[in-house]
Structure 1
Amino acid sequence: MERNPALRLASLLQSCIEKKSHLSAAKILHTRILRSGLYADTFLSNRLIELYSRCNSANNARKLFDAIPNKNIYTWNAILTEYCRMGELEDAFMVFDEMSEKNTVSWNNLISALVRGGFERRALDVYDKMVLEGFLSTHCTLASVLSACGGLLDVECGRRCHGLAVKIGLELNKYVGNGLLCVYAKCGFLRDATQLFKDMPEPNEVTFTAMMGGLSQTDRVGEALEMFRLMCRKGVRVDSVSLSSVLGVCSRGTSGEAAFNDQRDRFASNLHGKQVHGLAIKLGFQNGLHLGNSLLDMYAKYGDMNSAEKGFDNMPCYSTVSWNIMIAGYGQSYQLQKAREFLQKMQNLGFEPDEVTCINMLAACAKSGDMETAKLMFDNISRPSTSSWNAILSGYLQIGNNQEVVKLFREMQFQSVPCDRTTLAVVLSSCTAKGFLEAGKQVHTAWQKGSCHNDLYVASGLIAVYSKCSKLEIAKCIFENLPQLDIVCWNSVIAGYAINSLHKESFTVFKKMRQNGMSPNQFTYATVLSSCSELGSSSQGRQVHSQIIKDGFTNDVFVGSTLIGMYCKRGEVDEARDFFDMMPSKSIVTWNEMIHGYGQGGQGDEAVGIYREMIEGGEKPDSITFIAVLTACSHSGLVDAGLEIFDSMLQDHGVEPILDHYTCIIDALGRAGRFHEAEIILNKIPYKDDPIVWEVLLSSCRLHDNVSLARRAADELFRLDPQNSSPYILLANIYTSLGRWDEANAVRVLMGNHHITKDPGYAYIELEAGPQSSTRVKNLMMSNNEFLTANGPDHLSMAGSVA
């Protein structure tokens, strides 16, 4: 008996679907169905639509769908699946809306297609509608929805899905579990992600990759690498995706905070990256394009462009991404010419530069300081995106052209280009650097209107701008209205009070931060130590020092340098030296603070000694170093040592002397009464029209009663700064000390004719009144700035006011 033709055709259709047969086979079977009179068989038609879909023939599938007389839910799902697979989302929505009956498969198809197409928010809206209409989620539903949550960093929606998964018993499903873990990891909730990881019965390569990504994203590079080692120890299959992920972790290790502070971490990350490269070769993945690009990116971020270029040359094929990575790497390495060469090669080989290429070239020009070329490239982009604007803004910020940053930001606003957190952060950095209050307010408005209105990174920048512009009430208001706070926001407020000389308030905020459970970082400690220095409070400084030891920041160069500065400022130079000697590593700032501390305490020999120790140790002195050591020589009378160091600046160390250096050496010579040498230097310097040089010389003339040179210095000061009372007072005092009353009186008359008066001076003295309190007393400053108020020695007095 002849076999049922419908069953035979169904079997052939299934075989063709499984073997992904050619379109011709689908058409032959279609013809057989028509000839057999089975065109009305809905089951066969549904399978034929599926076969056309597998053959990528959406038109034939749609024609068949339209011709089916008795469509059922499987028919509708078949054509919906085809549109979703092809990414034809508008057609998919049209079919979905026309469906009289839907099931979970229908919803899952549409949600999954939206997520794949990058429409995560729209996918979540469809999911919400699905739930409202009473459809039960499956593991496929939750996997797609969690993928959307991860893309949008919507942890709240992820938590709702987590609760539902527990309720319907899907929390241990590997697809759902991996989706949840990805959401928590991407959103920075590592504690939740870690707990999920521990609870998963059989974590796979996706699980480990998600954990590595989450740990890396929060700069826990070491833990991320350890996760990869655990993955290998457990025998979990290592694929090209997990290898790309761990290469990203290694790359991140070159740009994280730890790597910035310690060159050893950079070496360790480089070593790990090369080990992963070796493993990729061993496993046979080295020829994959995605993994190859990850290797290029890793070497480029290390700055190892030789290895990157070798890897590039050995790649069997390239993508635009490959070229972009190389161009970006050369730009970051200040090799602008190589970046240009690769751009030319890219175009010669038929690769079309995209916007990322333009941004990378912009960044390369900016990194090398060639903003003229960068601007030309930017102007040639027909419709620059936010990323392009960010690149040009960052370039101008890098070269310190803050005015141009603000100008371009206003132009960007005028063109209605949306800002992101990078845009606002760059512009706020410029506003803070120059105190541009109005521009800062414009950024504030854009921040409130935009999608990043709660972004803590931008909020901390706003706090810094308002603090710099002495608008502390606004800064405080922004701080107090943030829904959550991070260490950067706390640091911005603490620094804001400090730069406005409200050091007591700065210390109070520091204590409040600790009470709220926030752990200080090195920037926090450096700022609050500076405030302790200004307050002159020994007890507060020592409390902070104790906390620094407890929190393990004693080896931090930044904190250590500030701590030395605090002790030196309080006159506790021996304590500063003890800590200095214990520091495992020192920066130029550390050495400068110690030299300055000795100079401040009148210990010139020690200052010169530690300067020479620094030179012998191979540390390169900077301009600040020479100011510190020359000041110490001046105050301690070490004139010959000062001259020797001054002469070595340019000759031995390549540091061009500036006004402060000349002022120090002239002061040293003047204090020693070596006016002839001082005049020789004075006649050579390019700063003859700066009043401070002549003020220093005039002060020295008063000490040694050098009337002729004093008169020359005073005349120069009368010319340069006619309303300054100091030269009149100093010159009058010289005449008075020599008993030349007529000339002293002439100076007094000259002051009166020019309506010049001396401002009273004040000093604050902190008296310890008890263990818990202190009293501030205003006291008249009795200094060299005496004011001559009478015609002769019998009528001289000091004029001042006690406030």
Structure 2
Amino acid sequence: MRPFLRPSYLSPKPTLSHYNNFINQCLSLKSIQLSQTIHAQLIKFGFSGITFLGNRFVDLYLKLGSFNDASKVFEEINDKNVISWNIWLNGLLKFGHFKKAHLLFDEMPEKDVVSWNSMISSFGVLGLWGCGLEVFKEMQTFGVRPSKFTFSILTTFVSSASQGKEIHCNMVTSGVCLSSLVIGNSLIDMYGKLGLVKYAFSVFLSMVEVDIVSWNSLISSCFKLGHEGLALEQFDQMRLAGFSPDEFTVSNVIAACTNLRYLDKGKQIFAVCVKMGFISNSIVSSAVIDLFSKCNALEDSVRLFEEVELWDSLVCNSMISSYARHGFHDDAFLLIVLAFREDCRPTEFSLSSVLSCINFLSIEQGPQLHLLVIKSGFQSDLIVATSLVDMYTNTGSIDSALQVFSEIHVKDLISWNTLIMGLAHNGRVVETLEIFKELLREGPAPDRITLSGVLLACRCGAFVDIGMHILSSMEEEFVVTPRDEHYACVIDLLCHAGKFKEAFDTLEAMPFEPGFLVWKSLVLATATYTNLNITERVAKKMIELNPHSSLPYLVLTRAYEMRGKWGRIIRVKKAIKQRLKKRVGCSWIGIRNHVFTFEADRLQHEGGKDIYLILELLTWELEESGNIHV
């Protein structure tokens, strides 16, 4: 061990004050080696038995992360006082030795309010809020008076309005100064989390002195509870009162502008951020990117993102979500790959956003993104796993979807519904019904979306009896009131099975006026097989419900053509020209992650003459091989 060299200006033997200063220097330098050297000198000169210095060294080693050295010093303190026990108790809790800490607490010969606060806080770390409240009650039984920090800790435990009010009342009876900044800010935050905005304002207005934390707690409470306008008002009041906002203030206020789509107000706050140098803060810059994106100013989001000097997970994730939101799927996918290279860990929300972009046009990207999910360790995350299931069902990769679903340890109803709807839309009728039976055995109770998926499967599989049974037993068995989408599936099912009378009986028995979706199912199924009067009546009802839909006109045209009613066809086409704007149809094809669109009535498409040249070559090859005859 390197010998400890004392400066020449010190006395031959360091004093207690000198060692105290040396400990402070070790702490500022964060040097364990220097700490051990000074500790050795402490023992050499006979100061090791002094409780004060022993406490200082236990605290020093704990702060430097040397748990074993701290343990040895604590054991060597002969005359331990309550400070010694408290330092070691906090050390055990800090390093995760909760059982040892609880045993030590029970054995402590003396406990003060700091000891009790440490134990109450430890239960909060473990998420055992009820145990923390029990320790608080036990503390009062022992006659230890709570401090303002005790109540500050307790406010983070509260899970109901009654608990919050009880603790507030306890503060009053304990004589704690409610105008204190610590107490006041804790109460504002507590009432905000409980959704009691009026109580939060009442505490704020009763405080003799407020600081930026008080304002931030109040603004945050308003914003998180959906009172964005009120949050903006408080921001203006704060500035009028002479307080300068910090990063937390502006991030909340910008988020409020985002929810309200107040782009102009958001730009004003953005200018304040630039002026005060907050834009380099990742929380602020990600909030601004989100603001621009959701207010349809994506180009501003891109410009700000490009100006960010150091990439951060928050900023990257905001930009990825922005690209995905506006349909720039390739850019979102590319950015998430680049973020990985820059060691910017994605969140479950950004991964979910990109997964939602994957469709049959970019099917090659799906497995690649799945590998990135595994690499980032999110394969067990429920949100990401459900998005993977949705992606695979959208691209028709049912086996992959079933595999991902089987690996979800704790499934919620959203994950079940995603698979059921995906299977139904892909025509996997038997698997849909099997998954539904599995849900009834071991999952949460189904909802209207679940039953919509099952009825859709019945429609695809022509399972009339099962579909009718589900519709008739929805309220009694599943406590779900049938809606338009459920009746539309069943009516469609009955019509395709040729049971037109039953379909109209079901329509008549509906407890509410049928919507457009129900009439749509009916008109599509009956236009060919029923008499013209019924088709006209249904089409008329659809036009009343949705005047801008072209479907009823197209159905009427088809029905008149089949029956040779040429005069009526002319009247329908005239009505289409007068009432509806022509929609241009298009086809598209995805090649190597690029989508080529071909609109109707256009001779020149993207690529121009090159596309037609390639088509001529393909046609020539097909003719040569004998596959087509022209």
Q: Same fold (TM over 0.5)?
A: yes
State the SS of the aligned residue for 1:536.
helix
CA deviations on 1:601-656 (whole Å, 9 max, x unpaired) are 11122112112212211334345433433333334433443444445554444455
Give the distance between the partners of 1:230 and 1:709, measured in 2 at CA: 90
Aligned partner letter, 2:361: G
Aligned partner letter, 1:209: L
The structural deviation recorded for 1:400 is 3.3
Gaps of 5+ in 2: 1-8, 11-16, 40-56, 78-83, 606-630
State the SS of the aligned residue for 2:271.
helix
Give the distance between the partners of 1:322 and 1:676, measured in 2 at CA: 72
The answer (yes or no) to whether the contact 1:328–1:339 under 8 Å persists in 2 is: no
**1:318 paired residue number:** 146
**1:309 paired residue number:** 133
**1:388 paired residue number:** 214
**1:176 paired residue number:** 25
The answer (yes or no) to whether the contact 1:208–1:228 under 8 Å persists in 2 is: yes
1:778 correspondence with 2:597:
yes
Give the distance between the partners of 1:210 and 1:485, measured in 2 at CA: 31
CA deviations on 1:294-330 (whole Å, 9 max, x unpaired) are 3223334655444223322332122122233334422
State the SS of the aligned residue for 1:466.
helix
1:587 correspondence with 2:412:
yes
State the SS of the aligned residue for 2:549.
coil
The answer (yes or no) to whether the contact 2:362–2:593 under 8 Å persists in 1 is: no
**1:529 paired residue number:** 355
Give the distance between the partners of 1:468 and 1:344, measured in 2 at CA: 43
Give the distance between the partners of 2:428 and 2:417, measured in 1 at CA: 14
The structural deviation recorded for 1:494 is 1.2
**2:380 paired residue number:** 555
Give the distance between the partners of 2:520 and 2:317, measured in 1 at CA: 39
Instruction: Show the 5 A alignment for 1:666-677.
Output: 666-672=491-497, 674=499
Q: Please identify, of 458-467 and 648-657, the stretch whose mean Cα deviation from structure 2 is larger.
A: 648-657
Residues 570/618 of structure 1: CA separation in 2 closer, same or farther (3 Å cut): closer
State the SS of the aligned residue for 1:621.
coil
Give the distance between the partners of 2:328 and 2:317, measured in 1 at CA: 14
Residues 508/663 of structure 1: CA separation in 2 closer, same or farther (3 Å cut): same
Counterpart selection for 2:119 from 295, 301, 305 = 295
Counterpart selection for 2:525 from 700, 716, 720 = 700
The structural deviation recorded for 1:361 is 3.8
Residues 551/779 of structure 1: CA separation in 2 closer, same or farther (3 Å cut): same
Give the distance between the partners of 1:663 and 1:230, measured in 2 at CA: 73
The structural deviation recorded for 1:570 is 1.1
Counterpart selection for 2:586 from 742, 756, 762 = 762
Give the distance between the partners of 1:427 and 1:499, measured in 2 at CA: 22
The structural deviation recorded for 1:756 is 2.4
1:569 correspondence with 2:569:
no
The structure, 1 or 2, with the larger RCO (C-alpha pairs under 8 Å, 6+ apart) is 2
The structural deviation recorded for 1:413 is 4.1
Give the distance between the partners of 1:710 and 1:460, measured in 2 at CA: 54
The answer (yes or no) to whether the contact 2:58–2:73 under 8 Å persists in 1 is: no
The structural deviation recorded for 1:496 is 1.0
**2:310 paired residue number:** 484
**2:298 paired residue number:** 472
The answer (yes or no) to whether the contact 1:419–1:450 under 8 Å persists in 2 is: no
CA deviations on 1:374-409 (whole Å, 9 max, x unpaired) are 445445557654333333333344443444434443
Residues 297/595 of structure 1: CA separation in 2 closer, same or farther (3 Å cut): same
The answer (yes or no) to whether the contact 1:327–1:357 under 8 Å persists in 2 is: no
The answer (yes or no) to whether the contact 2:360–2:395 under 8 Å persists in 1 is: no
Aligned partner letter, 1:289: V
Give the distance between the partners of 1:455 and 1:493, measured in 2 at CA: 15
Give the distance between the partners of 1:696 and 1:412, measured in 2 at CA: 57
The structural deviation recorded for 1:597 is 2.0
**1:206 paired residue number:** 59
CA RMSD of aligned residues (A): 3.8
Instruction: Show the 5 A alignment for 1:177-256.
Output: 177-181=26-30, 201=36, 204-211=57-64, 232=71, 239-244=85-90, 247=93
**1:409 paired residue number:** 235
Give the distance between the partners of 1:775 and 1:308, measured in 2 at CA: 57
Give the distance between the partners of 2:473 and 2:297, measured in 1 at CA: 45
Give the distance between the partners of 2:569 and 2:92, measured in 1 at CA: 80
Residues 201/320 of structure 1: CA separation in 2 closer, same or farther (3 Å cut): closer
**2:324 paired residue number:** 498
Instruction: Show the 5 A alignment for 1:36-115.
Output: none
Give the distance between the partners of 1:228 and 1:677, measured in 2 at CA: 78
1:419 correspondence with 2:245:
yes
Aligned partner letter, 1:778: T
CA deviations on 1:415-457 (whole Å, 9 max, x unpaired) are 4433233333333333444533233323323322336332111
**1:131 paired residue number:** none
State the SS of the aligned residue for 1:607.
helix
Residues 418/552 of structure 1: CA separation in 2 closer, same or farther (3 Å cut): same
Aligned residues: 560
Aligned partner letter, 1:489: V
Aligned partner letter, 2:379: T
State the SS of the aligned residue for 1:766.
strand
Residues 493/273 of structure 1: CA separation in 2 closer, same or farther (3 Å cut): same
The answer (yes or no) to whether the contact 2:62–2:70 under 8 Å persists in 1 is: no
**1:16 paired residue number:** none
The structural deviation recorded for 1:501 is 0.2
**1:190 paired residue number:** none
Aligned residues with identical type, % of pairs: 25
State the SS of the aligned residue for 1:764.
strand
The answer (yes or no) to whether the contact 1:365–1:374 under 8 Å persists in 2 is: yes
Residues 751/517 of structure 1: CA separation in 2 closer, same or farther (3 Å cut): closer
**2:50 paired residue number:** none
Residues 632/241 of structure 1: CA separation in 2 closer, same or farther (3 Å cut): farther
Give the distance between the partners of 2:384 and 2:435, measured in 1 at CA: 20
Gaps of 5+ in 1: 1-103, 106-139, 145-172, 182-195, 213-226, 251-271, 768-772, 782-798
Give the distance between the partners of 1:674 and 1:732, measured in 2 at CA: 24
State the SS of the aligned residue for 2:279.
coil
**1:263 paired residue number:** none
